[in-house]
Structure formats: structure tokens, C-alpha cells
Amino acid sequence: MKVVDRFLQYVKYDTQSDELTNLTPSTPGQMTFAKERLLRELKSMNLSDISLDENGYLFATLPSNCDKPLPTIGFIAHLDTSPDMSGHRVKARVVNYQGGKIVLNEEQNIVLDPAQFPEIQDYVGQDIVVTDGTTLLGADDKAGIAEIITALEYLQEHPEIKHGNIRIGFNPDEEIGMGARLFDVEKFGADWAYTMDGGAVGELEYENFNAAVCKIEFKGLNVHPGSAKHKMINSIKVANQFALMLPRWETPEHTEGYEGFYHLISWEGTVERTVLTYIVRDHDRARFESRKRELEHLCRKTNYEFPGCATIEIKDQYYNMREKIEPVMHIVEVAERAMKNAGVTPVVQPIRGGTDGAQLSFKGLPCPNIFAGGMNMHGRYEYVPVPSMEKAMQTIVEICKIVAEEY
């Protein structure tokens, strides 16, 4: 089966994750996709060591066809799609892009416009998969799943290509930061792995943000406004004062590359109680720690003016995998060479976000991130060029060949 045909079948499954359920997987659609589609497909391919646990982690092995002992390498993708937009009844279609605008939905006047998304002009003349504009597409990360399975199918059809044991893993809830939490690294049994979860063709990433979430609660005192002088403490106004003390330009909309930020993602408040939720991001560990200390400092400053008003809770989410990858940089070099063999120019860049690979690296499984091809992910304008998926699949095959030839 071609990678695009496989992908078009996968996006029919609604697998949005939901951080509010406190379940794993967080939504039943992920287990349905894993059990009713992927598990059956892997069994039909006669793979070995197939397992699907109660938490939605699906593993399998393509056994080695090589006489000599080789490292076991893994390829990983996630089952869920983003909660940011509906993944229900995705209407995907393939269009041959000849430039200009693509009308996704004429009735609702939803248009994929190069003026807004100029990167699409890089794919003139290519087939690309788009939606009807009412849902996301799900290339993040069903494209990655399709690429991995299609690569294994290709290796089975070409036994002359030597390879070692190849482990594959599909996990739930990456989009809500929980994908690696119950991932059994020991059971997976790979020496190293790659997440197929990047964006544009050529992306290769082994650096990501250090990340934390911060909640600050402000307690106020509500008094009838007619007699509130020198008595009322309006927690909304105190919270606003706090927010304005943070650097104005250190926010996502003003940063790029290695620049970190404070991002206010939620504001809930009344006069009596207001809660601000921030995510804190920085590639540099020292600056990351400094950002957290700054938030604590501003809370102390607030409490100096309004005693006992502000309380803060900071929880680290994940760390920059660079410190775990640098001692084994050969795994990045293998991926770079594999891309070149597949006719792809590697674009090594930091991830302005996180991946399951970051958390897995800290659990003992070094795991850089490779492109899956999706663009404009998490929204109605998401698309994926078919040649990008094909190149990702070829990159997987080339990685397996390099390891068999040189290790």
C-alpha cells in the first residue's frame, strides 16, 4: 500500500486527546485506532512481538534478516491529534498544487492562501493532502505512523535490503505532554530510536525547549463597591499588575530560534480570586531556571505590596534532550546521511516545543526527531505534501540500511 493511501485511511479515526480526563489514553478514539486498525494491520504483516497494553501503547518488531548482531533501532509516532481543533469526520482530499490559493471550503469561504502561508509555494507541482477546512488533518502524527508502517512493508517486500531488529512504537497523548509517561523503555528494547513527528521535509531535531508550567493564584477581598475604600483588594487588578511586570517582548509572538519566552495561556478571575497559568520555555537550562526564579521574585514583590495575596506553583514538564543526545551524536549523523541518501537536504534546527523523544531520551532511550511532512499543524489549514511523506518513508529505510552496513 502506498503511504498516502494508508494515511488517508488513518485520518478517518478521531483521536483527539483531552488533558481533562486524567485517563490513559485520554480519549477512547485512540484505543479504537490502535486496536481496530493498527493492531490488525501489524498482525497481517506477520510482525513479531506485537503488544497493545491497556494504556494504548502499541509495539511490534520487524525481525533482523542479517547474520551478524546489530543494534536494535526504533521508530516512534503518536496516535493522538491536537485538542486545539476537531478531528471528527476529517474530509481529506489530494490536490495537485499548481500555485495560488486553494479553496478548502467554498460554502464557508475557507481558503489556504499563500499570502498567509507562503511555505506552500515550495510545493508547487506536488500532490498535497488538505482538509475541507472544518477540521484539522491529522498529519501530526498519522503521517508518521503511515511512514513507519509503509517503510516496514517496503523492507519486507525487499529482503535483499539487510537490516537488524527494528522496533516500532505508537503511543497515546503526545499532544497533551503525556505520551512518554507510561512508555516502557525496557520493554521496547531499542538501543536508540527516532520519533517521526517533525514538520517540513528535511527537518532533523535533537534540541528542544526546557519546559515548565506555572500557576499563580491571587486572593482578593471583595467589599461592596460603595464602601470599598482602603478595604477592597481586586485580585483581577493585582494579577494584571503581575502580568505587566514580565518582559513585554519575551512572548511567543516576539521570539524565534533559541529565544525563550513566558506564555500566558489561561486567565480565570473574579474580585475574590484570580489564577494565571503560564508556560515557561527556554533552550538554555540556566536561562530556564532564571525564568522560573523571576516568576517567584515577582510573586514576592506582589506580596510585599499585598501581603499573602499571591501563591505560586511551578512544575517542570520536560528538558532539552540535547544533553542526552550529544554523547551519542552518531545517531544524528546516521539520520543526516540517510536523508541525503533519500535525496533530502537535512535541516538541523531546534524544536520550539517538545516531543516524546525528549522525555524518552531522559528515560534512557536517545530519540532525535525526524520530519513527517505536515505543515500548519493543529488547525484547519493543515496539509501534507505526498512527496514529503514518501521521503520520510525512504529515510527510515535508509537508516536501517546504514546501520546494517556499518555497525
Q: Could you report the per-residue pLDDT of 55-108, keeping only the tens digit for each?
A: 999 999 999 999 999 999 999 999 999 999 999 999 999 999 999 999 999 999
Give 21-65 pLDDT, tens digit per residue.
999 999 999 999 999 999 999 999 999 999 999 999 999 999 999
- Which domains does the chain possess? 3-207+320-406 (3.40.630.10), 210-317 (3.30.70.360)
Give the model's confidence band at 19: pLDDT under 50 very low, under 70 low, under 90 confident, else very high. Answer: confident
* pLDDT over threshold 90, residue 233: yes
- At 132, list the grid cell: 475541507
Helix axes 386-406, 139-157, angle to 10 degrees: 50
Residue 280 reports pLDDT greater than 90: yes
Which helix (H) or strand (E) covers residue 243, if one does? Answer: helix 235-245
* Whether 122 is catalytic: no
254-277: average pLDDT: 96
3-class SS letters over 91-138: CCEEEECCCCCEEEECCCCEEECCCCCHHHHHHCCCEEEECCCCCCCC
Is 67 one of the catalytic residues? no
Task: Yes or no: say if 136 and 80 are a contact pair by the CB < 8 Å rule.
Answer: no
Mean pLDDT of the chain: 96
How far apart, in whole angstroms, are the C-alpha atoms of residue 13 and residue 326?
A: 37
Q: Please say if the pLDDT value at position 386 is more than 90.
A: yes
Q: What is the DSSP letter of 49?
A: E
- What span, in angstroms and rounded, lies between the C-alpha atoms of 7 and 29? 16
| Catalytic residue (one of 14, 41, 80, 191) | 80
Q: What is the mean pLDDT of residues 320-334?
A: 97
Among the options 14, 174, 191, 197, which is catalytic?
174
Does 355 have pLDDT greater than 90? no
**pLDDT higher than 90, residue 159:** yes
- Give exposure, 279-290, as e/b (b: 16+ Cβ within 10 Å): bbbbbeeeebee
Q: Measured in whole angstroms, how far is the alpha carbon of residue 310 from the centre of its chain? A: 33
